[in-house]
């Protein structure tokens, strides 16, 4: 079963992949090889990724959740992830964890 280390790696690689892809697209747009609308499409896909994230987190193990959150937090602290994005993902993770805890209390 995936553990905290796996979650940390997934968050770190996901953020770094996103940054590389964004700047690659931006370079093509700046060079005139792509239309600027591709950056808007990229941003839209990132927003839609939040929906996928929300629907998948209840199936993650608790250790994996904490590892993912820790890795994402490091990316936020280093300035690679925006505060709004970090807040949205954190709210979802806290909600999932609280729901999980309340289910075990019943």
Whole-angstrom distance, CA of residue 92 vs CA of residue 2: 19
Angle at 97 between CA 86 and CA 91, to 5 degrees: 25
Whole-angstrom distance, CA of residue 77 vs CA of residue 43: 21
When the pLDDT of each residue in the chain is averaged and rounded to a whole number, the result is 90
pLDDT of residue 46: 84
pLDDT digits (tens, 9 = 90+) for 10-61: 999 989 998 999 999 999 999 999 999 998 898 889 888 888 888 888 888 8
Residue 7 and residue 68 in contact, taking contact as beta carbons nearer than 8 Å:
yes
- Return the C-alpha torsion angle 24, 40, 44, 27, nearest 10: 0
| 3-class SS of residue 34 | coil
């Amino acid at each position: 079963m995936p553990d905290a280390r796996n979650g940390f790696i997934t968050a770190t690689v996901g953020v770094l992949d996103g940054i590389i892809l964004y700047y690659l697209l931006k370079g093509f747009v700046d060079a005139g090889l792509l239309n600027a609308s591709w950056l808007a499409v990229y941003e839209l896909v990132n927003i839609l990724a939040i929906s996928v994230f929300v629907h998948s987190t209840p199936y993650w193990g608790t250790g994996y959740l904490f590892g993912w959150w820790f890795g994402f937090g490091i990316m936020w602290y280093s300035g690679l992830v925006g505060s709004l994005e970090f807040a949205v993902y954190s709210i979802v993770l806290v909600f999932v964890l609280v729901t999980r805890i309340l289910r075990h209390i019943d």
